[in-house]
A and B are shown apart, each in its own frame.
Chain A
Amino acid sequence: MFKLTETDYGTPAQTSDAQVTLNIDGNDVTVPSGTSLMRAAADAGIMVPKLCATDSLEPFGSCRLCLVEIEGRKGYPSSCTTPAESGMRVLTQTPKLQQIRKGVMELYISDHPLDCLTCAANGDCELQDMAGVTGLREVRYGFDGANHLQDAKDESNPYFTFDPSKCIVCNRCVRACEETQGTFALTISGRGFESRVSAGQEQSFMESECVSCGACVQACPTATLQDKTVIMLGQPEHSVVTTCAYCGVGCAFKAEMKGNEVVRMTPWKDGKANEGHSCVKGRFAWGYATHKDRITTPMIRAKITDPWREVSWDEAINHAASEFRRIQASHGRDSIGGITSSRCTNEETYLVQKLVRAAFGTNNVDTCARVCHSPTGYGLKTTLGESAGTQTFKSVEHADVIVVMGANPTDGHPVFASRMKKRLREGARLIVIDPRKIDIVDSPHVKANFHLQLRPGTNVALVNALAHVIVTEGLANEKFVAERCEEKAFNDWKAFVCRPENSPEAMSAVTGVPADILRGAARLYATGGNAAIYYGLGVTEHSQGSTAVMGIANLAMLTGNIGREGVGVNPLRGQNNVQGSCDMGSFPHELPGYRHVSDGVTRSQFEQAWGVSISPEPGLRIPNMFDAALAGSFKGLYCEGEDIVQSDPNTQHVAEALMAMECIVVQDLFLNETAKYAHVFLPGSSFLEKDGTFTNAERRISPVRKVMPPKAGKADWEVTAALSNALGYPMNYKHPSEIMDEIAMLTPTFNGVSYAKLNKLGSIQWPCNDESPEGTPTMHVDEFVRGKGKFVITKYVPSDEKVTRKFPLLLTTGRILSQYNVGAQTRRTDNVMWHTEDRLEVHPHDAEDRGINDGDWVGIQSRAGETVLRATLTERVQPGVVYTTFHFPESGANVITTDNSDWATNCPEYKVTAVQVMPVAQPSEWQREYQRFNQVQEDLLNRREPVVAAQAEK
């Protein structure tokens, strides 16, 4: 389907408007000014021999293979470092060049093992190719002299091997680590013959700063850095381009296959979200898809204390449907609902909301964006008119000032972080707004100009203070505001924000940020050129999450930093399809395309297309479902791909709600925490087993392509369709492309989207319609989607979660690079070698006050509950603040978090919980009960009653 080996043009493409024409080997070639001779030749179909050059890296000019002759010039310049000039006449193949290249190759091979036939790179080795191209037939020097053939391998990384005996010191790995990834973990140690690639300070890869992004492996032209899966399985024989199933960057990958088996995932260089880069999750952590814990046979049980019983698909589906109908008959139509995950495809979330609305007959459908970015949808829709980020990722290349607020891109969105760091190394300036000293504040060759280390829960106060400075110091872009924004709303807002209580001096008591630092940051944002704001869950997951999003939009409008490249409001979405799941109408108040259910015109379009009537009233949001369950009016749930028990706040409240329900149907890869409370388990399919699309944080719709059959026999969309059919509402799609066609027909922003167009363009940023047939990279260019931009007054309201003598610390939560969300995927990979448990970060001062040492077990108690974790003492957190992640269920991070939520959307306030932390000697009561319950559920799974017929049916 796609080429296994893509054309390598040797040096990066240039974008100059000026063109130069030269002659290479008798062919006239016209290229953008600045293009290397090597790339110009490649454009003409002439491949100049090379080893140290590759088109993802700047030219280096060290291997001496790419020499050429230029008419009228002396010597043999390297084609990778020589720019094309008009009128040049270049020869790439002459007897003299052949002689030089052969001599160079002979030297390389004199210190390289001659084990090509048994080498893992056999068939994919540039050194081997170049030996062939240069016509090397003998190596005169023998192996008697000094060489590196006995150098020991470094097998420390679980995913790739470093074999220094095969290294030709081309520097590609070192440069990839610097230029592509921006980690600077690799170097060349020693000089001359002693020159060797070294991770860190001559450490193993695992001991070093290496983040295992795979850029070095991707860049290596030999078998020196090699995927262990390739060593084990051999070279792939075909590849399929698909989209990563992890974060909201939505990287395009080539799934390189042998039959139905994945050999490796390599980042696709034509992928617009990642441009050939990857992180440790997408590149390597896909083994969960074939993990032994996968459940591939449907199961049912009457009570959660019963053993599971394996059944056929038909029995499971019919049982679920009859239970839902029974509950509705007893408790009313609105007593059931559905939840989808941002890990589902667009087509899957669309189908589930359709099933809930058309087959269940209710609007009780929600998606896990409820607990992450629902405030983004509300805030950006209210101010700008569309519930989405405004830019492409590539736009960051034009930013002069980058604001990172409540996001930790090097951990949460690592591939975008690499693109951002590249721009910062080029000179863009950085403002970080975060309670923690996240990596990007101070990392190799990147230092924040301002780190506003605010107290958790004070985002709105800080944003208002920034606006106050910009307005009162006359730094606003008044022309932009006058032309593009509502006048009255602006004047009201201006009067509000100019009040003395919003000054940095007044607000510093609230935020903890010194006024002079805040003023400096405000001036830089307003006057530093193109300024772009990137924000994450540290903005949204607050009681004022929506207010903070609107405050950010206010800042962008105030300074005119919206509507062109290099600027904008950019929500960094947590999961791969957060944007898409919201787009697809999986909120209880909205139909696809963010149109309210009370909108009669829109509703009638869906009613006509679906042949049902749709309620004009909003349905229950996820936390409302839990409350309704405990109140006895919500009894049945269809939950696809989401683990609400682990990921939602106040775990005990969620568990009680689920236990109060009569039928919970979970569709997932694994028996996740929610499935332990379920009555029907429908096996899910991994992203490798189905077709569909994900929409990333830049509104980019990218194809997910099936590379192997579903392990349970059905793709997720087929399961939902089967359930709908069993409920009596027909769904007869033959392929997800038909679902997308329906989405396009009913959703104005998707009107022009089709699988055929996605195949042609690779990916599409919505809106895609008659006005923008190939999509919309930048939004709000000439006017806002809502017409005039609307400034919204954003009064700071302190959180109800206040520190007290009993709970004197503030807990905030986040993520780590190697793990993903609830960890269901990454915990089932070797990524656990980097992060084996959730830890509590404590400032040394707070630790000393409590007698806590690094590694001690500590109890964390809040108003909601208590759990126990091991402490890590670090100054990354400020005194008074503690921090943890929620990747492991036994950690119980969400046992502590509370029911508090965003006023507008009910997005939980994960980021602010008042706690006390003290040394303890044993797990918390909740953890002991969790261990007991988990053991019971594991036993009930292990004792499941197999059904031969069910197996046969698959």
Chain B
Amino acid sequence: MNQQHLVRMANNIGDFFEAMPDRQEALDGIAGHIKRYWEPRMRKEMLAYINAGGEGLSDIVREAIGGGRIA
């Protein structure tokens, strides 16, 4: 998969949910959206990308999808 595309898509999702007043709601929203709409190989690749440093990912996205929450 194209990592640049995945990073941009994840950050765009993060931009939307970051506006939620409840931080936990925002984090759950990001992880839930990716889990619900991304095909497993995309999620797998994103997790590998995070494990490799996750360059370019926004802070809220890193926080939201770390820890296997989108596995």
Chain A interface residues toward B at CB < 8 A: 334, 363-364, 492, 495-496, 543-544, 547, 588-589, 596, 598, 617-621, 623-624, 627-628, 630-631, 633, 793-795, 797, 800, 899-901, 903-906
Contacts and interface: CB of A to CB of B under 8 A. Distances in A.
13 contacts: A492-B20, A496-B21, A543-B12, A596-B36, A617-B40, A618-B39, A621-B39, A624-B42, A627-B1, A793-B20, A903-B15, A904-B13, A905-B37
Contact of A903 (B2, B12, B38, B41): B12
A497 B42 CA distance: 34
Interface string B13-38: 10110111100000000000100111
B48 interface: no
Given A492-B21, A904-B16, A618 B36 contact: yes
Nearest to B22: A492
Contacts of A899: 5
Interface of B: 1-2, 5, 8-9, 12-13, 15-16, 18-21, 33, 36-42
Given A334-B41, A903-B9, A631 B1 contact: yes
B13 A903 contact: yes
A905 B20 CA distance: 19
Contacts of A793: 19-21
A617 B13 contact: no
B19 A496 contact: yes
Contacts of B8: 800, 900
A930 to B, nearest CB: 24
Contacts of B12: 543, 797, 903
Contact of A628 (B1, B15, B21): B1
Contact of B15 (A496, A797, A906): A797
Contacts of A364: 39
A899 B21 CA distance: 30
B4 to A, nearest CB: 9
Contact of B39 (A492, A544, A617): A617
Contacts of A617: 39-40
Contacts of B1: 624, 627-628, 631, 633
Nearest to B39: A620
Given A627-B2, A631-B1, A903-B15, A495 B39 contact: no
Given A363-B39, A589-B37, A618-B38, 13 more contacts: A334-B41, A496-B21, A543-B12, A588-B39, A628-B39, A631-B2, A795-B15, A795-B16, A903-B12, A903-B13, A903-B15, A904-B13, A906-B9
Contact of A495 (B5, B21, B36, B37): B21
A621 B13 CA distance: 16
Q: Is the interface of B mostly helix, strand, loop or mixed?
A: helix
B9 A901 contact: yes
Contacts of A631: 1-2
Contacts of A363: 39
A905 B2 CA distance: 17
A134 B13 CA distance: 73
A795 B2 CA distance: 27
Contacts of B38: 618, 624
The 8 closest A-B pairs by CB, nearest first: A903-B12, A795-B19, A797-B15, A627-B2, A620-B39, A793-B19, A631-B1, A627-B1
B16 A797 contact: yes
A100 to B, nearest CB: 73
B39 to A, nearest CB: 5
Nearest to B15: A797
B2 A598 contact: no
Given A903-B16, A904-B16, A627 B5 contact: yes
B19 to A, nearest CB: 4
Contacts of B36: 589, 596, 598, 618
A125 B36 CA distance: 61
Nearest to A799: B12
A631 B41 CA distance: 11
B42 to A, nearest CB: 6
A588 B36 CA distance: 10
Contacts of A903: 9, 12-13, 15-16
A619 B33 contact: no
Contacts of A618: 36-39
Contacts of A334: 39, 41
B16 A619 contact: no
A823 B29 CA distance: 40
Contact of A904 (B21, B33, B40): B33
Nearest to B21: A492
Contacts of A633: 1, 41
A906 B37 CA distance: 10
Contacts of B40: 617
A496 B22 CA distance: 12
A591 B19 CA distance: 30
B47 to A, nearest CB: 14
Contacts of B2: 627, 630-631
Contacts of B33: 904
Contacts of A624: 1, 38-39, 42
Which has the most chain A C-beta neighbours within 10 Å: B18, B20, B37, B38? B37
Which has the most chain B C-beta neighbours within 10 Å: A589, A624, A633, A794? A624
B49 to A, nearest CB: 13
Contact of A619 (B5, B20, B39): B39
Contacts of A621: 37, 39
Contacts of B15: 795, 797, 903
A553 B12 CA distance: 21
Contacts of B9: 901, 903, 906
Contacts of B13: 903-904
Nearest to A543: B12
Nearest to A598: B36
B46 to A, nearest CB: 12
A901 B4 CA distance: 13
A416 to B, nearest CB: 31
Nearest to B12: A903
A630 B3 CA distance: 12
Nearest to A623: B5
B16 A547 contact: yes
Nearest to A496: B19
Contacts of A628: 1, 39, 41
A458 to B, nearest CB: 15
A576 B20 CA distance: 37
Contacts of A589: 36-37
A223 B38 CA distance: 60
